[in-house]
């Protein structure tokens, strides 16, 4: 997401963009913005970068996002997903900075999706709990904040290190590898570019509160994989159906999520692509690489 927001904001008139991440800049295009290495678990480093650039808004896309790794390495998850948000929001309070923070459909237990913003969270895993805690920190910091909850993001990543349901399905089937795909989890896949636009609008409108920002369609992971296979003309026989119970992953996942996105459409001028339109955008980007 960080990379997509760079592409959405770099060269935008009136915007000075400072992009940060751990280590060297892995985004292909290096022009149109400033890059600062920043480890967000380092409170002093955050303070240093904020004092250096005095931003009016921060968009926080960094997190420990591997749900099973969070379950087995809770200390790191807490440092990345909770402590870092406390460090950032403390600086936002001191410097009157608007904070845009990404969160997840996993704050819900998946018994009553699709969800609206007012529905009651009930996280099932440590990752989900950590993201809900981060939301509470933003809400209680006495700052202007917008929390954008989203759902399985897909898109093309510059350095190829991150995968997602679309790239994973496409790459596996191209290599004629069998993949186990879950049949009983339902989500609204979100095109990374759509979410980036929502983040940018949240900044430009100085939006406040919680927003549900996802694709429009609620489909199973299996349907997402099969649609991807069909779209790219790949052999679906490598897709093996599996249930959540059979997969026995370390962290529990909500079964049925999906979002009601009316608030984002109204307040953030959010107009997501359909999943098929999103696949066409992914195909074009892969072609241009």
Of positions 151, 166, 196, 225, contacts ligand NAP by CB under 6 A:
151
Residues 109-138 that bind ligand NAP (CB under 6 A): 131
Of positions 65, 169, 218, 226, contacts ligand NAP by CB under 6 A:
65
Q: Is the peptide bond before 255 cis (omega within 30 degrees of 0)?
A: no
Per CB under 6 A, 22 contacts ligand NAP = yes
How far is it, in rounded angstroms, from Cα 289 to Cα 220? Answer: 29
How far is it, in rounded angstroms, from Cα 3 to Cα 172? Answer: 24
Residue whose CB is less far from ligand NAP, 135 or 144: 135
Of positions 89, 150, 218, 228, contacts ligand NAP by CB under 6 A:
150
Residue 240: helix, strand or coil by DSSP? strand
Per CB under 6 A, 1 contacts ligand NAP = yes
Residue whose CB is less far from ligand NAP, 160 or 250: 160
Residue 60: helix, strand or coil by DSSP? strand
52: which 2 tokens? Answer: 């250096």
Contact 97/50 with Cβ under 8 angstroms? yes
Shortest CB 56 distance to ligand NAP, Å: 21
For Cα atoms 167, 130, 198, give the angle at the middle one, nearest 5 degrees. 55
Find the part of the chain contacting ligand NAP (CB under 6 A) among 92-100, 147-155, 215-223, 253-261. Answer: 147-155
| Number of Cα atoms under 13 Å in the Cβ half of residue 82 | 15
Q: Give per-residue burial for 247-266: e unless 16+ CB within 10 Å, then b.
A: eeeebbbbbbbbbbbebbbe
Find the part of the chain contacting ligand NAP (CB under 6 A) among 56-64, 217-225, 248-256, 267-275. Answer: 56-64
Residue 187: helix, strand or coil by DSSP? strand
How far is it, in rounded angstroms, from Cα 192 to Cα 199? Answer: 11
Per CB under 6 A, 102 contacts ligand NAP = yes
Per CB under 6 A, 191 contacts ligand NAP = no
Per CB under 6 A, 39 contacts ligand NAP = yes
Per CB under 6 A, 80 contacts ligand NAP = yes
Per CB under 6 A, 21 contacts ligand NAP = yes
Shortest CB 106 distance to ligand NAP, Å: 7
Of positions 6, 132, 146, 152, contacts ligand NAP by CB under 6 A:
152
Find the part of the chain contacting ligand NAP (CB under 6 A) among 33-41, 107-115, 227-235, 247-255. Answer: 33-41
Per CB under 6 A, 61 contacts ligand NAP = yes
Residue whose CB is less far from ligand NAP, 57 or 150: 150
The crossing angle, in degrees rounded to 10, of helices 192-204 and 2-9 is 60
Helices (H), 79-190: 84-95, 126-140, 165-174
β 186-187/219-220 pair status:
antiparallel
Give me the residues that bind ligand NAP (CB under 6 A), please: 1-2, 21-22, 38-41, 61-63, 65, 80, 102, 104, 131, 150-153, 162
């Amino acid at each position: 997401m960080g990379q997509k927001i760079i592409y959405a904001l770099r060269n935008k008139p009136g915007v000075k963009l400072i992009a940060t991440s751990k280590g060297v800049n892995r985004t292909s295009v290096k022009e149109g913005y400033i890059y600062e290495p920043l480890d967000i678990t380092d409170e002093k480093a955050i303070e240093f970068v904020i004092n250096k650039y005095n931003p009016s808004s921060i968009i926080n896309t960094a997190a420990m996002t591997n749900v099973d790794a969070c379950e087995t390495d809770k200390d790191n998850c807490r440092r990345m997903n909770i402590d870092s948000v406390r460090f950032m929001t403390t600086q936002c309070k001191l410097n009157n900075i608007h904070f845009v923070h990404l969160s997840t459909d996993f704050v819900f237990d998946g018994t009553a999706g699709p969800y609206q913003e007012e529905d009651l969270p009930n996280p099932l895993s440590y990752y989900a709990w950590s993201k809900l805690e981060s939301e509470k920190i933003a809400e209680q910091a006495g700052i202007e904040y917008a929390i954008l909850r989203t759902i399985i993001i897909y898109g093309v990543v510059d350095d190829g290190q991150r995968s997602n349901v679309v790239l994973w399905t496409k790459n596996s089937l191209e290599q004629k590898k069998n993949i186990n795909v879950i049949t009983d989890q339902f989500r609204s896949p979100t095109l990374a570019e759509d979410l980036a636009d929502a983040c940018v609008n949240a900044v430009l409108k100085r939006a406040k509160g919680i927003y549900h920002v996802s694709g429009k369609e609620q489909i199973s992971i299996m349907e997402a994989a099969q649609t991807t296979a069909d779209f790219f003309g790949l052999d679906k026989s490598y897709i093996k159906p599996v249930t959540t119970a059979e997969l026995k992953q370390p962290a529990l996942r909500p079964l049925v999520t999906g979002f009601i996105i009316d608030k984002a459409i109204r307040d953030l001028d959010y107009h997501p692509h359909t999943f098929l339109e999103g696949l066409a955008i992914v195909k074009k980007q892969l072609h241009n690489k």
